[in-house]
A and B are shown apart, each in its own frame.
Chain A
C-alpha cells in the first residue's frame, strides 16, 4: 500500500515538473523575469533616392501634371505673399499651420518651380512611413522624409538637408488640427532654424480644414476656397535661443491667418499693438470651434481688399 502511494505521488510529482517545466517544448521565462532588452532603433526608411534629379523630374510631372490639375479642379486656392520668398537667399524652413492633408500639396503646388524642386517635407514617421508602399508613395509625390514626432532620437535628416541646400517644410503642430484652429507649436522648427542659422518663412493656410478636414479622403464639393499666405522671412537673432525664437514663429503664422481674415494693414496694426486675435480659437464647445473654421472664406468680389 505504501509502495502504491509512493508510486502515485512520484508520478504526480513527475507530471508536475513535466508540465511546469514544459518537457519537450520550448522553456518559458515569466514575463517579469525576462531580461530587459534595449529596443532596437527602427531603421529609418531611406529617402535620399527621392531627391535625385530623376526623382525630382518625375515628381515635377506628378505634381504639376496630375496633382495640381486635380487640386485646382476640386478646390480654389488663392496664394499671396510669394514675393516674400525673394528676400530669402539659400535654404530656409517653410513653417505653416496644419489642419488638412491638403496643406502639403497646397504648399508644393503654390511654390515657384525652382523652390518646389528644392523643397523636402518633414512627415510623421509613424504615419507616412509605417508601410513601405505608403513611404515610397509619399517620398515620390511630396519628397517627404521621416521624422519622429513622439520623442526618440532627434533625426539628423532635416539638418543634413538644410546643409545640402534643400528647403524643408515643417508643420510645427506635429499633427493636423482636430478643429481647424492652430494648436501649440512645438520647438522643432525653431530649434532647426537656430541650430542651422536658416531663415523661417511663415505660411498661413486658411480654409483647408473646411475643404478637407480630418477623416475625409477627398475635398468637399463646391470648390471651396483655400488661402495660402506666405509671410516675411524670420531670422533668429545672434545668440537667440530656440525657446525665445519659437513664439515669434508661431506669432508670425498667427498674424498671417489674421491678415487673411482682414487686411495686411489692419493685421500689422494689431501686431504692433499686441492685439492680434488668438488663432487657437475660442474656449467654447467643439462644435462652435468647428463652426467658426468651416465658415466659407469671403471671395474678393464680396469684399474689396485694397492691400490684397
Chain B
C-alpha cells in the first residue's frame, strides 16, 4: 500500500532536505515552519501490462472495440506522443511500444495494409531514428521506418496539412493531412501529468503553427489557471473546441496511459524517499552521488543524468472516445499526484531538476530552466497557486549560459535579441513572434535538422506568463547572475540571501511552501 502525499512542517528534528538543482542536488536546511509538500508514493502498477492493454482495446469507453473498427482496405494512422514525455524517459520497453504493437497485431489480423505511424511532435524538434526506435521498439521501427511509414510530423509541410475548419471562436483547426484523411486515427498517449492527453493530443500534437497560435499565446496562458487543470485552463478550452471540430471529420480512437511515481531507481533511489526515512545505505548513496557529481567533469555529469531511465509502472490504460477516456485518465493522475495543501504561502520554493520536456538528450538552457520552474512546476496546482498573489518564488538552478545549437538555435537569438528588448510576454508576442515563426532558416532547421521551431522559445516564455503576472518577486538561488538578469530575475547565493532579498515584499518571517518534486505532484491548494 503506497502512502499518500503529505505536507511536512519543518521543525528542529527535520534533517536537511533534498533540493533538485540542475544536474545535481543540494541538501538544504529550511527555516522552521516551512511547509514541504511531498508527492504520494508510487501506486502499485498493473500486474499484467499486456493483458491490461488488450482489455482496454477490446472494451473501450463509449466506442466500438478496436478489432471492430479495423478492416481490410482502410487507412489507419497511429499517432503517438513524442520524446517530451515521460520525463525522464522510461526504461525499455516503452509503454507506447507495447500499445502500438498490440494495435498493429489487431490491424494485421484484420488485414489492414495502409498503416502509417506519426510522432505527434507539433513544433517540437524531430526525433532521431534512434529516438523513434526507443519509443516504438525495434520490431515496429524495422517494419515501418525504412518505407517512410514511421516519421515525424512536419508542421511546415503545407502540402501535407488539412484545414478542417474554424471553431465558433474563429480558431483554425489545421492538422496532419494523413491523420485527417484516415479512416481511423489511433492516438497513443502517455499521461505523465494532468496537462497531457484529451483533445490536447491530436488537436495540438498534429497541428500547424496556424492552429497552435490560437492557444499558444500570452493571453491564453495567463488565463490558464492552471494548465494542470483542464477545466480551468484557457489553453485546454481552446484545444477542446478544436477537438470538437476535429472529431466531426476524423474518427479518433484515443488510448491514454498513466504512470506511477516510481522514477528513480538504483543508486538514485534516495531521491524519491522521505529524507528522515533514509537508511544508512541511502545516506551513503546520496553522499557518493553528491561527491561523485561534484568531482565529475561537466560532460560526464551531463551524460550520467541524460542516461537516467525511469522505472515507471503502468497504473492504467484506457481506450475509446477522447473525452470519457480523458476523464478517467485525469482521475488516475490525480490519484497518483494530488496532495492537499491548506492555503497559500508568502514564498514558494522549487528545485528545478536537470530535465524538462524540451531538453531530452540535450541541455537545459536558461529559457527552458525558467519554463520548467515557472511554467511547469509553478503551474502544478489545482485551485490556486501555492504562492499568494504578489508573493515571491525562489527557485534553485545554476541557469548556466548554455544552449544547444542543434536543438535550440532560435533560443539563442531569442535570449540575446528578444529578451534584451523586453521580458513582457505580450510585448514580445506582438513585436517578435511573427518574425521568428516565419523565419526561413529556422523553418529549414526545424524541417531538416533536429531543431525546435523558430517560434518555440516564445511559447516557453508564454508558458511562464502566469507566474510572471502572479509573483511579485522571483529569485534564483545559485544561478548565474547574468543569465537570470537577462530574463528579468535576480540571483542569490543562498536561500537566506534570497529570503532577505524578498523580505521587502513578504516580510521577515514569511510563510514558506516548498514543493518537493520530482517525483511529480499537483498541489491541491484549498
> CB distance B290 to A13 under 8 Å?
yes
Q: Tell me whether A37 is interfacial, beta carbon within 8 Å.
A: no
> CB distance A33 to B276 under 8 Å?
yes
Q: Return the contact of B287 from the options A6, A13, A29, A30 (Cβ within 8 A).
A: A13
Q: Tell me whether B13 is interfacial, beta carbon within 8 Å.
A: yes
> CB distance B286 to A17 under 8 Å?
yes
Q: Give B1-24 interface residues, CB cut-off 8 Å to A.
A: 6-11, 13-16
> CB distance A33 to B6 under 8 Å?
yes
> CB distance B290 to A20 under 8 Å?
no
Residues of B within 8 A of A29 (CB): 13, 276
Q: Tell me whether B300 is interfacial, beta carbon within 8 Å.
A: no
Residues of B within 8 A of A13 (CB): 27, 287, 290-291
Q: Return the contact of B276 from the options A14, A17, A27 (Cβ within 8 A).
A: A27
> CB distance B291 to A32 under 8 Å?
no
Quick one: given A20-B27, A21-B283, are A30 and B13 in contact (CB under 8 Å)?
Answer: yes
Q: Tell me whether B295 is interfacial, beta carbon within 8 Å.
A: yes
Q: Tell me whether A31 is interfacial, beta carbon within 8 Å.
A: yes
* Closest partner residue, chain B, to A17 (CB atom): B283
Q: Return the contact of A16 from the options B11, B13, B16 (Cβ within 8 A).
A: B16
Q: Which of A16, A17, A21, A33 has the most CB of B within 10 A?
A: A33
> CB distance A28 to B276 under 8 Å?
yes
Q: Return the contact of A33 from the options B16, B27, B274, B283 (Cβ within 8 A).
A: B274
> CB distance A31 to B9 under 8 Å?
yes
Residues of B within 8 A of A28 (CB): 13, 276
Shortest CB–CB separation between residue A308 and chain B, in angstroms? 64
Residues of B within 8 A of A195 (CB): none
Q: How far is the CA of A9 from the CA of B287 in the complex (A)?
A: 11
> CB distance B27 to A16 under 8 Å?
yes
Q: Return the contact of A32 from the options B9, B27, B286 (Cβ within 8 A).
A: B9
Q: Tell me whether A155 is interfacial, beta carbon within 8 Å.
A: no
Q: Return the contact of B8 from the options A9, A16, A33 (Cβ within 8 A).
A: A33
> CB distance A20 to B291 under 8 Å?
no
> CB distance B14 to A6 under 8 Å?
no
Q: How far is the CA of A28 from the CA of B290 in the complex (A)?
A: 23
Residues of B within 8 A of A278 (CB): none
Q: Tell me whether B278 is interfacial, beta carbon within 8 Å.
A: yes
Residues of B within 8 A of A30 (CB): 8-11, 13-14, 276
* Closest partner residue, chain A, to B277 (CB atom): A29
Residues of A within 8 A of B7 (CB): 32
Q: Give B294-309 interface residues, CB cut-off 8 Å to A.
A: 294-295
Q: How far is the CA of A10 from the CA of B291 in the complex (A)?
A: 7
Q: Give A1-49 interface residues, CB cut-off 8 Å to B.
A: 6, 9-10, 13-14, 16-17, 20-21, 27-33
Residues of B within 8 A of A6 (CB): 291, 294-295
Q: Which of A9, A28, A30 has the most CB of B within 10 A?
A: A30
Residues of A within 8 A of B16 (CB): 16-17, 20
Q: How far is the CA of A72 from the CA of B274 in the complex (A)?
A: 69
Quick one: given A6-B295, A16-B16, A20-B27, are A32 and B287 in contact (CB under 8 Å)?
Answer: no
Shortest CB–CB separation between residue A14 and chain B, in angstroms? 6
In this complex, the interface size class of chain A, counting residues with CB under 8 Å from chain B, is: 10 to 19
Q: Give B242-281 interface residues, CB cut-off 8 Å to A.
A: 274-276, 278
Residues of B within 8 A of A31 (CB): 9, 11, 13
Residues of B within 8 A of A14 (CB): 287
Shortest CB–CB separation between residue A32 and chain B, in angstroms? 4
Q: How far is the CA of A17 from the CA of B281 in the complex (A)?
A: 12
Shortest CB–CB separation between residue A193 and chain B, in angstroms? 45
Shortest CB–CB separation between residue B64 and chain A, in angstroms? 49
> CB distance B295 to A20 under 8 Å?
no
Shortest CB–CB separation between residue A121 and chain B, in angstroms? 45
Residues of A within 8 A of B276 (CB): 27-30, 33
Q: How far is the CA of A10 from the CA of B290 in the complex (A)?
A: 9
Residues of B within 8 A of A33 (CB): 6, 8, 274, 276
Shortest CB–CB separation between residue A29 and chain B, in angstroms? 5
Shortest CB–CB separation between residue A16 and chain B, in angstroms? 6
* Closest partner residue, chain B, to A10 (CB atom): B291
* Closest partner residue, chain B, to A29 (CB atom): B276
Q: How far is the CA of A6 from the CA of B295 in the complex (A)?
A: 7
Residues of A within 8 A of B8 (CB): 30, 32-33
Q: How far is the CA of A14 from the CA of B274 in the complex (A)?
A: 19
Q: How far is the CA of A6 from the CA of B296 in the complex (A)?
A: 11
Q: How far is the CA of A206 from the CA of B105 in the complex (A)?
A: 94
Residues of A within 8 A of B13 (CB): 28-31
Q: Return the contact of A20 from the options B6, B9, B15, B294 (Cβ within 8 A).
A: B15
Residues of A within 8 A of B10 (CB): 30
Q: How far is the CA of A10 from the CA of B29 in the complex (A)?
A: 18
> CB distance B290 to A21 under 8 Å?
no
Q: How far is the CA of A31 from the CA of B13 in the complex (A)?
A: 7
Shortest CB–CB separation between residue B53 and chain A, in angstroms? 37
Residues of B within 8 A of A17 (CB): 16, 27, 283, 286-287
Residues of B within 8 A of A20 (CB): 15-16, 27, 29, 275
* Closest partner residue, chain A, to B15 (CB atom): A20
Shortest CB–CB separation between residue A179 and chain B, in angstroms? 41
* Closest partner residue, chain B, to A7 (CB atom): B291
Q: How far is the CA of A32 from the CA of B294 in the complex (A)?
A: 33
Residues of A within 8 A of B6 (CB): 33
Shortest CB–CB separation between residue B272 and chain A, in angstroms? 16
* 21 A-B pairs with C-beta separation under 8 A: A9-B291, A10-B291, A13-B27, A13-B287, A13-B290, A16-B16, A17-B27, A17-B283, A17-B286, A20-B16, A20-B27, A21-B15, A21-B278, A27-B276, A29-B13, A30-B14, A31-B11, A32-B7, A33-B8, A33-B274, A33-B276
4 tightest A-B CB contacts, nearest first: A20-B15, A28-B13, A32-B9, A30-B14
